[in-house]
């Protein structure tokens, strides 16, 4: 395609984008065998503000890719065996059927399915299925601080980190934001022990033994540049029952999926039974 035609095409496309016509004139811009590429198919190719040179290159590139794909498709259509063509038609029919069912199910779920998951419902599922929520790793509620060894009044930070008083913790947070390299209370939520150990300069060894023996732990790196402080507020060991809060999001997904499955089963059975009542099913 020559440059003049492409430039004209760019101007037409730009004007079309500005007017936002609801009716798009099917003006052909390229032809590959029996396939035709129309102007309205190129409206989103060039963004507003793109230079003429870049626009020309983008349109030319799109047309080339379109033509290659069309020629390949046409060659495939010419050379596929009748059996292969039948198989394609069968797959297309099945895909259309599955897509229609999927969209209808989504519509019915949106209109009719109860989407509210109450805390009581989640807790009932948790209590009834405790064996399903065994921990695979040690978890903790903890506080982690990485702070330069030369920090002034570091003893005060050490003291505050051991406290469970809310006012002390607020003061600790203020000091850590001022001096600490890293301060993390993990939003006071349960986290795997690995989240702590990965921050430490050395290996703590046996996690279970460590957790049973330490409420507060302090160490430093080899260069004595930083101090690392860990305060363990609570812990649960692997193979024990996971706290409800730790698996709550998993329970939400499980309960939601169960409800979704039951809704879709009821929907399918209802449509089937209605069809039976209307004698719509004929078996020959």
pLDDT of residue 43: 81
Question: Which of 26, 67, 17 is closest to 46 using CA atoms?
Answer: 17
Question: Tokens representing 65?
Answer: 């890719």
Which pLDDT tens digit goes with each residue over 241-271? 999 999 999 999 999 999 999 999 999 999 9
Question: Which of 28, 46, 51, 52 is closest to 38 using CA atoms?
Answer: 28
Task: Produce one character per residue of 235-254: b if its CB has 16 or more CB atoms within 10 Å, e if not.
Answer: bbeeeeebbbebbeeebeeb
* Mean pLDDT score across all residues of the chain: 89
Instruction: Say yes or no to pLDDT of 39 above 90.
Output: no
Full set of structural domains in the chain with CATH: 3-79 (no CATH), 135-236 (3.10.50)
- Structure pTM? 0.73
């Amino acid at each position: 395609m020559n440059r003049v035609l492409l430039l004209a095409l760019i101007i037409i496309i730009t004007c079309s984008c500005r007017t936002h016509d609801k009716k798009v004139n099917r003006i052909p811009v390229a032809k590959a065998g029996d396939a035709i590429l129309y102007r309205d198919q190129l409206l989103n190719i060039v963004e507003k503000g793109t230079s003429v040179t870049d626009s020309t290159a983008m349109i030319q590139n799109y047309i080339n890719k379109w033509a290659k794909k069309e020629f390949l498709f046409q060659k495939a259509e010419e050379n596929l065996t009748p059996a292969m063509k039948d198989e394609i038609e069968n797959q297309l029919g099945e895909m259309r059927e599955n897509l229609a069912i999927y969209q209808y199910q989504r519509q019915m779920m949106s209109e009719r399915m109860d989407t509210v998951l109450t805390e009581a419902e989640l807790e009932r599922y948790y209590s009834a299925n405790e064996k399903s929520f065994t921990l695979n790793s040690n978890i903790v509620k903890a506080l982690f601080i990485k702070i330069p060894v030369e920090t002034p009044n570091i003893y005060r930070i050490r003291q505050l980190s051991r406290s469970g008083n809310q006012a002390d913790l607020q003061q600790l947070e203020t000091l850590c934001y001022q001096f600490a390299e890293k301060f993390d209370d993990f939003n006071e939520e349960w986290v795997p022990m690995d989240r702590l150990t990965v921050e430490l300069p050395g290996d703590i060894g046996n996690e279970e033994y460590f957790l049973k023996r330490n409420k507060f732990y302090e160490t430093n790196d080899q260069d004595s540049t930083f101090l690392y402080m860990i305060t363990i507020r609570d812990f649960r060991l692997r193979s024990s029952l996971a706290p409800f809060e730790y698996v709550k999001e998993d329970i939400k997904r499980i309960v939601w999926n169960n409800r979704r499955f039951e809704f879709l089963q009821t929907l399918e059975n209802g449509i089937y039974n209605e069809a039976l009542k209307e004698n719509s099913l004929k078996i020959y």
